[in-house]
Each structure stands twice: as C-alpha cells, then as structure tokens.
C-alpha cells in the first residue's frame, strides 16, 4: 500500500517509515522539517516538505498522489509547552488535525493510524492502565490528543473512516539509522546519557512516590517496537 506519514522526518516517524519501507510499502513523508530532519528520511521513501494542517497543500498532494492509508505522527508533544501556550496546541493538534481529516475525506482516503498518547488517561485509578480506562487528561497536550481521537470516532460513524489510535507513554531507543535528535533535547534518557558524559545535570522531580527512594518510575516502549505496532495497525485498517 502507499502510506502517507505525517511527521515522518521526526524521531518516531522516521523509524516507523523505516519499518514500512522494509515491509515493502510505498511511503510518502509529509513533514515541514520544523522539528524533523531531512536526512532522517530513509532511502526509498519520498519526502514532501509541507504542513499537514495546510489544507490547500494537502489537497494538492492527495490529488497528485494516490494514498491508501495515513500514519499521523506529526503533532506538538511537549506537556510544559502546552500549558504555557494551549492555543498553539489546539491550533496544530486539533484544527490542523481536522484539516487533515477533511482533506482525506475529500480525496476518499478512509484509513488512518493515529500515533496518540497515554496522556489521554490523565492520572489513572489503577496501573497497568486498561484500554477502557476513563479518559481524563490533565494538560492541554493530552486534551488535544483526546479531542482528535473523538473526531476520529465521529468521522468513522459518519464517513466510514477506519482508524486506530495507539496510546503510549515514553519512547526510547533507536534504530541502526535513526534516533533522538532534538534541540533542545527534552527526553529523559538522552539527557541522562549526556549527564553521565559530564555534559549537564538531570533534575529529578518527586519525593513521595511509592518507590524505594520516593522518585517516579517511568515506563518506556522501544521506538522499533512502536514502529512495528504502527505497521500492524495500518495493516489492520484494511477492510478486505
């Protein structure tokens, strides 16, 4: 199938593109390169520079290129930034996301996998979190992801969109070709490694968690495992 990957030049997106190309799929990457990197796009995939929220641009892309399914990885994803500037997150994650859905609806694309977040659950009542746990996000980032998931549900009911949302917390690791390249780096593991090398310090927050030292325990998924999940989810949207 021919897959459009939004944010395919970013960390999670680029490794997912690798998995798709390796599986024999034709991949078109849509990325404005504001956070992604041109050289992270694996050979065999075609990079198109632009924003998924630019309706006219996406309309033209879909008119010129037959797309079977979409992997939507592009989004604003920093909790602190979302609290400081919620308008940015609603504009890009929600308004931009709906613009993408409208372009897909107009072009007849009915398959989408959404790289979502476990932040839609907020503070869960029990761990591990069940998929059917109540959605109660506690920050604009999680709220905008939940809002877009709601749009997917109603687009399915009204327009026949077949979608899967993958909710996960922290991503770590790298493929042989791609890893974390952020400026500034906001993820914990790269910053811990930098601190070990003597390039800065890592603040530790929290003193009252039910752990031996009172600090928080975080769960992680390897980026290649997430890429594989994206691939399987895309294949599962096939109505055949």
Among all residues, which ones are annotated catalytic? 141
Q: List Cβ<8 Å contacts ≥24 apart for 105-110.
A: 105/155, 105/159, 105/161, 106/59, 106/62, 107/59, 107/62, 107/63, 107/67, 109/4, 109/62, 109/67, 109/68, 109/69, 109/70, 110/159, 110/160, 110/161, 110/162, 110/239
Element (H, E) at 72: strand 69-72
Query: What distances in angstroms separate CA 35 from CA 110, 138, 184, 231, one per listed residue?
Result: 27, 25, 10, 23
Q: Using the CB atoms, write b or e for 191-211: b if 16+ within 10 Å.
A: beeeeeeeeeeeeeeeeeeee
Phi, psi of 21 (to 5 degrees): -65, -40
Contact 46, 3 (CB under 8 A): no
The closest alpha carbon to 3, from 238, 240, 239, 222, belongs to 238
Burial class from Cβ neighbours inside 10 Å (0-12, 13-18, 19+) for residue 38 reads exposed
DSSP state at residue 54: -
């Amino acid at each position: 199938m021919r897959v459009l990957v939004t944010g395919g030049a970013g960390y999670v997106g680029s490794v997912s593109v690798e998995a798709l190309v390796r599986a024999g799929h034709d991949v078109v990457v849509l990325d404005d390169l504001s956070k992604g990197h041109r050289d992270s796009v694996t050979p065999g995939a075609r990079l198109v520079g632009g924003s998924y929220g630019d309706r006219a641009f996406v309309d033209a892309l879909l008119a010129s290129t037959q797309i079977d399914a979409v992997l939507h990885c592009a989004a604003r994803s920093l909790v602190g930034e979302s609290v400081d500037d919620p308008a940015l997150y609603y504009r890009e994650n929600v308004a931009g996301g709906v613009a993408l859905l409208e372009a897909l609806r107009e072009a007849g694309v009915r398959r989408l996998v959404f790289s979502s977040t476990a932040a839609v659950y907020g503070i869960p009542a029990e761990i591990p979190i069940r998929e059917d746990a109540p959605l109660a996000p506690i920050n604009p980032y999680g709220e905008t992801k939940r809002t877009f998931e709601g749009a997917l549900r109603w687009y399915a009911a009204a327009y026949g969109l077949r979608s899967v949302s993958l909710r996960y917390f922290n991503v770590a690791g790298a493929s042989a070709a791609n890893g974390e390249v952020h400026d500034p780096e906001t993820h914990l593991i790269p910053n811990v490694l930098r601190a070990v090398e003597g390039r800065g310090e890592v603040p530790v927050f929290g003193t009252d968690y039910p752990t031996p030292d009172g600090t928080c325990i975080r769960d992680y998924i390897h980026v290649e495992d997430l890429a594989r999940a994206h691939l399987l989810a895309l294949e599962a949207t096939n109505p055949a």
